[in-house]
Amino acid sequence: MSQPIPAANVSSTEAAARMGNAPQGAATRTQATVDQPYRILMVCLGNICRSPTAQGVMEQQVAEAGLQQQVQVDSAGTGDYHIGHAPDHRAQAHALKRGYDISAQRARQLADADFEDFDLILVMDAANERDVLARCPEQYRHKVQRLAGYGRQHQTDTVPDPYFGGAEGFEQVLDLVEDACAGVLAEVLQGADSKMPPTGGMEG
């Protein structure tokens, strides 16, 4: 498995050029322009722990690459339990320790329009994947992927839910998400179609 491209080593001009010249991938659209940015949606159960953390991490990596106009990131939950709520205070605190301010985010539920509007829908675990695919029109099912499947340092396809655990769970989420988001960004920059995992992510 190749190493991710460090975002800090890619200039915005070079990155935009890569994205504009990239071939379309078999799994998802990988080209992006200012007029048609590449849109990524992070999805977990309640949109207060994992997916807002993933949104915050991905947004910062995108910003460090100078690609805020070319790549847009959002998050949502499969459930309606926390609509309008800020991220869990523990998720906010642990994220902030690593430089990610996710306090302005507010939870929302996955909408039917998201399947058309986003190019890549990244779920955290098997239950999220099942719930998302149950609603997803057939023509968009290829967009639904496991976020952790893009990780280069951690061999897993799951970002575990830290809600009922302690501090170590939130730190694990950050470890996995930082690794996976770097992998996602590298794939978008390269326009590669070989790494896009099949629906269900990695096995084992």
Positions marked catalytic: 44, 50, 161
Query: Looking at the DSSP assignment, which residues form a beta bridge with residue 76?
Result: 43
For 71-108, give the DSSP string.
Answer: EEEEEEESS-TTTTPPPPHHHHHHHHHTT---TT----
Rg (CA), the chain: 15
- Phi, psi of 110, deg, nearest 5: -55, 130
**Nearest-angstrom CA–CA distance, 182 and 150:** 8
Is the distance from CB of 41 to CB of 113 less than 8 angstroms? Answer: no
Helix axes 167-190 and 12-21, enclosed angle (nearest 10): 60
